[in-house]
Chains A and B, each alone.
Chain A
Amino acid sequence: MADIIEGISPTRMELLKLGRRIVLAEKGYKLLKEKRDALVSEFLDVVQRVHDSRARASEKLAMAFKDLLTAQAVMGSDAVWQVSQVTGQDIRIDIDTMNIMGVKVPMITPQDVKRSMIDRGYGFADTSTMVDDAARNFEEAIEDVIKLAEVQQSVENLANEVIKTKRRVNALEYIVIPRLTATATHIRMRLAEMERENFTRLKKIKAAIEAGKKAETA
């Protein structure tokens, strides 16, 4: 039996109020439980996407690093470093927020990650084609890394919301609702007890009065 809520006087008024609170708590509990289930299914979905996205990004990066290494082997790493310092257009991304069941998740759209040779900014004469390959592969890898950033942030936000909702559901299920019902039962029994007390008191008084009347007439 759960604890009763302290400081509530056992009156009919309070019993009515408790009844309303129980109804409300149960309604909230049902809604939150539905929210939790929906969140969990969404969460699992995004987890899968994180897995895929991470695998793809890792693979692309590995390829890009291999090309970079080749370029470094052909031109020397200092020369590649020099080329990388000459920069063309910077990548820009659009970040939008989407709302999944009240959880804000990012939606990132990269703007023209794949650039033309000219936009890359470095000269052609003194660079090897390996650099071009590496640059192209890195552009592709960056696209995947951006996608990974998006799903990773989504999964974290969703997880936090799932934890929060779960805590609320459990608090309602195991603490709030049992406490309310226990208190309601307590009040109901207390009221019944008072009723019985009153009943016996009246009986006693009636008996006393009748005894008094008898004594008077006698």
Chain B
Amino acid sequence: MSEMTIAVIGDSDTVSGFRLGGVTNSYVVKADEPIDAVLKKLISDEELGVIIVTERVADANRSTIDDLNKAKKSITPIIVEIPDKDGPIVREVDPLKVLIKSAIGVEM
């Protein structure tokens, strides 16, 4: 059991909301801005357990995030995507469905 912190990356409204909620480790970025540098800095911190990213920012940085998830050796940091103030992005292909399909071979 190890004690860890949370970080949030998103637009200014998301960040100010999460700061109010108690996540002070925060980075304001524009929706289509690359976040490689921020992520690189964040993953070097071993205390960091969860990185919260808005869906819009995550979509703009999909390949970076995928690479990171593949490369990481321990479980943390977990990158979790959340809807921003405009609500969740409706996707044609739900990544969870894709995962299910590849794991058990049938759609659900």
**Chain A residues in the interface with B (C-beta under 8 A):** 40, 43-44, 47, 50-51, 57-58, 61-62, 64-65, 68-69, 72, 77, 80-81, 83-85, 87-97, 104-106, 108, 111, 113, 115, 120, 131, 134-135, 137-139, 141-142, 145-146, 148-150, 152-153, 155-159, 162-163, 166
Contacts and interface: CB of A to CB of B under 8 A. Distances in A.
B21 A163 contact: no
Contacts, number: 146
B17 A64 contact: yes
B104 interface: yes
The A interface is mostly helix, strand or loop, or mixed, namely helix
Contacts of B83: 58, 61-62
B45 to A, nearest CB: 13
Given A83-B20, A106-B78, A163-B102, A90 B25 contact: yes
A56 B105 CA distance: 28
B50 A93 contact: yes
B82 interface: yes
Contact of A108 (B13, B50, B82): B50
Contacts of B12: 81
Given A58-B88, A142-B21, A162-B103, 5 more contacts: A51-B96, A58-B83, A95-B49, A113-B21, A134-B20
Residue in B20, B49, B84 with the greatest tally of chain A CB atoms within 10 Å? B20
Contact of A87 (B24, B50, B84): B24
Chain B interface residue count: which class? 35 or more
Interface of B: 1-6, 12-13, 15-25, 49-50, 52, 69, 75-76, 78, 80, 82-85, 87-88, 96, 99-100, 102-104, 108
B27 to A, nearest CB: 14
A139 B21 contact: yes
B103 A163 contact: yes
Given A93-B50, A149-B80, A141 B21 contact: yes
Q: Which 4 A-B pairs have the closest CB atoms?
A: A138-B21, A149-B80, A84-B19, A84-B16
Contacts of B52: 145, 149
A64 B21 CA distance: 10
Given A113-B22, A145-B52, A145-B80, A92 B3 contact: yes
A58 B4 CA distance: 24
Given A91-B6, A141-B21, A80 B16 contact: yes
